[in-house]
Amino acid sequence: QVQLVESGGGVVQPGKSLRLSCVAPGLTLSNYALHWVRQAPGKGLEWVSFISYDGSTKYCADSVKGRFSISRDNTENTLYLQMDSLRPEDTAIYYCVRDSTPGFHPWGQGTLVTVSS
């Protein structure tokens, strides 16, 4: 069964940076477009960012535009989310998800990011 595994979450002060990673043991990520989706504690799902299979096309939500950057290294089979100028409202579980067009499947287990002083 395909699995995505996120890492890099933790507690960080407002204004600081964090980089999340996502790998998929046994799956060649370079064949797929990928997304980051987040979920604040007790809240709903918010789509964050998209990257095409080759990294040539990227989109991100207005709430993170100019602060977050999605990238991928297909030689390392890894997806990244660089998060700068973090705010308390960025506190959430961040999920890495494969674009299985037209749905999102599978999802990783998520990594928790807490922005707090």
Partner 1 sequence: DIQMTQSPSPLSASIGDRVTITCRASQSISTYLNWYQQKAGKAPNLLIYGASYLQSGAPSRFSGSGSGTDFTLTISSLQPEDFATYFCQQSYSFPYTFGQGTKLEIQ
User: Which residues bind to partner 1, rule: CB under 8 A?
Assistant: 35, 44-47, 50, 59, 61-62, 95, 100-110
When the beta carbons of 16 and 65 are compared against partner 1, the nearer one is 65
CB of 37 to partner 1, least distance (A): 8
CB of 13 to partner 1, least distance (A): 27
When the beta carbons of 16 and 43 are compared against partner 1, the nearer one is 43
76 exposed, middle or buried (CB, 10 Å; 0-12, 13-18, 19+)?
exposed
| Residues 3, 109, 21, 115, Cα dihedral to 10° | 170
Peptide linkage before 41 cis (omega within 30 of 0): no
